[in-house]
Amino acid sequence: MNALIIGGGGREYAIARALRADKKCNQIYFASGNGASEKLGVNITAESFEALADFAANNDIELTIVGGEEPLTKGIVDIFRARNLAIFGPTKAAARLEGSKAFMKNFLKRNRIQTAKYIETDDLAEAKRFIAELTPPIVVKADGLCAGKGVIIAQSQEEAASAAGDMLSGASFAEAGRRVVIEEFLDGFELSVFAISDGKDFVTLPVCQDHKRLLTGDLGPNTGGMGAYAPAPLADETLIAKIKTRIVRPTIDAMAAEGSPFTGVLFCGIMVVGGEPYTLEFNARFGDPECEALMALLETSAIDLFYNAAIGKLSEVKPRFSAKSAVGVVVASQNYPYGQSRSAPITIESGAENENAHILFAAVTKGENGELLASGGRVLVAMGLGENIRLARERAYDLIAKIKFDGMQYRTDIAYQALR
How far from the centroid of its chain's Cα atoms is residue 221's Cα?
18
Figure out which of the listed residues 287, 328, 377, 386 binds ligand GLY, where binding follows CB under 6 A: 287
3-state secondary structure 403-415: EECCCCECCCCCC
Residue 183 vs 290, nearer CB to ligand AMP: 183
- Give dist(CA 230, CA 227) in Å, integer: 11
User: In the complex, what is the shortest distance from the CB of residue 162 to ligand GLY, in angstroms, rounded to a whole number?
Assistant: 26
* Nearby residues of 45 by Cβ (< 8 Å), 6 or more positions away: 31, 32
Nearest CA-CA partner of 8 in 30, 33, 35, 39: 33
Amino acid at 4: L
151 binds, among ligand AMP, ligand GLY, none (CB under 5 to 8 A by kind): ligand AMP
Q: Footprint of ligand GLY on residues 221-250 (CB under 6 A)?
A: 224-225
Query: Which residue sits closest to ligand AMP, CB atoms considered?
Result: 281
Asked if 280 interacts with ligand AMP (CB under 6 A), we say yes
- Give dist(CA 126, CA 296) in Å, integer: 47
- Stretch 186-225: interaction string toward ligand GLY, x if CB under 6 A: ------------------------x-------------xx
290 binds, among ligand AMP, ligand GLY, none (CB under 5 to 8 A by kind): ligand GLY
Asked if 190 interacts with ligand AMP (CB under 6 A), we say yes
Kindly write down the DSSP assignment for every residue of 59-111, as one continuous string. Answer: TTEEEEEE-SHHHHHTTHHHHHHHTT--EES--TTTTHHHH-HHHHHHHHHHT
H-only helix segments in 114-229: 124-133, 157-168
Asked if 12 interacts with ligand GLY (CB under 6 A), we say no
Stretch that binds ligand GLY, among 70-78, 126-134, 255-263, 284-292 (CB under 6 A): 284-292
Figure out which of the listed residues 97, 131, 139, 359 binds ligand AMP, where binding follows CB under 6 A: 139
Query: Which residue sits closest to ligand GLY, CB atoms considered?
Result: 225
Stretch that binds ligand AMP, among 67-75, 182-190, 256-264, 314-322 (CB under 6 A): 182-190
Asked if 250 interacts with ligand AMP (CB under 6 A), we say no
Sheet of strand 263-273, all strands in order from the earlier edge strand to the far edge = 202-204, 189-198, 263-273, 276-283
Stretch that binds ligand GLY, among 91-99, 178-186, 257-265, 280-288 (CB under 6 A): 280-288
Residue 16 vs 168, nearer CB to ligand GLY: 16
User: In the complex, what is the shortest distance from the CB of residue 388 to ligand GLY, in angstroms, rounded to a whole number?
Assistant: 23
Residue 368 to residues 44, 211, 345, 348, 387, Cα–Cα distance (Å): 19, 35, 11, 18, 40
Asked if 281 interacts with ligand AMP (CB under 6 A), we say yes
Figure out which of the listed residues 288, 292, 341, 377 binds ligand GLY, where binding follows CB under 6 A: 288
Tell me if 308 sits within 8 A of 314, measured CB to CB.
yes
How far from the centroid of its chain's Cα atoms is residue 150's Cα?
16
Asked if 143 interacts with ligand GLY (CB under 6 A), we say no
Asked if 136 interacts with ligand AMP (CB under 6 A), we say no
Preceding omega of 32 cis (within 30 degrees of 0): yes
Asked if 279 interacts with ligand GLY (CB under 6 A), we say no
Q: What is the CA radius of gyration of the chain?
A: 21
Asked if 119 interacts with ligand AMP (CB under 6 A), we say no
- For ligand GLY (CB under 6 A), the number of binding residues is 7
Nearest CA-CA partner of 224 in 67, 357, 369, 39: 67
H-only helix segments in 235-301: 237-243, 249-257, 290-297
Stretch that binds ligand AMP, among 33-41, 126-134, 179-187, 410-418 (CB under 6 A): 179-187
- Give dist(CA 398, CA 382) in Å, integer: 9
User: In the complex, what is the shortest distance from the CB of residue 270 to ligand AMP, in angstroms, rounded to a whole number?
Assistant: 10
Contacts with ligand GLY by CB under 6 A lie at 210, 224-225, 283, 287-288, 290
Site residues for ligand AMP per CB under 6 A: 116, 139, 141, 151, 183, 185-186, 190, 212, 269, 271, 280-281
